[in-house]
Amino acid sequence: MKVDLDRRLVFPDIIQTNLRPDILIWSTQGKKMVMVELTVPWEERCEEAFERKKGKYEELAGDIRALGWSVLVFPVEIGCKGFPAHSTWRIFAALSVKDRDRKAALDRLSRTAEKSSSWLWCQQDMKWKLSTDGQ
Half-sphere exposure of 5 (CA within 13 A, CB side): 3
Give the integer Cα–Cα distance in Å for 21 and 132.
Answer: 22
Residue 59 in domain:
yes
Residue 79 in domain:
yes
Residue 51 in domain:
yes
Q: What is the pLDDT of residue 128?
A: 64
Q: What is the pLDDT of residue 12?
A: 87
Residue 128 in domain:
no
- What's the total number of domains in the chain? 1
For 116, the domain range is 2-122
Q: What is the pLDDT of residue 113?
A: 87
Q: What is the pLDDT of residue 130?
A: 62
Residue 90 in domain:
yes
CA-closest candidate to residue 72, choices 90, 84, 86, 99: 90
Residue 99 in domain:
yes
Residues 6 or more apart from 109 whose CB is under 8 A from it?
Answer: 78, 84, 88
> What type of residue is 42?
W
pTM confidence score? 0.78
Residue 74 in domain:
yes
- pLDDT (tens, 9 = 90+) of the chain, 135 residues, equals 888 776 677 788 899 999 989 899 999 999 999 999 999 898 899 999 999 999 999 999 999 999 999 999 999 999 888 889 989 999 999 989 999 999 999 999 888 888 888 887 888 777 766 666 555
> What type of residue is 124?
Q
Q: What does the radius of gyration of the chain's CA atoms come to, in whole angstroms?
A: 16
Contact yes or no for 60/33 (Cβ under 8 A): no
Q: What is the pLDDT of residue 123?
A: 80
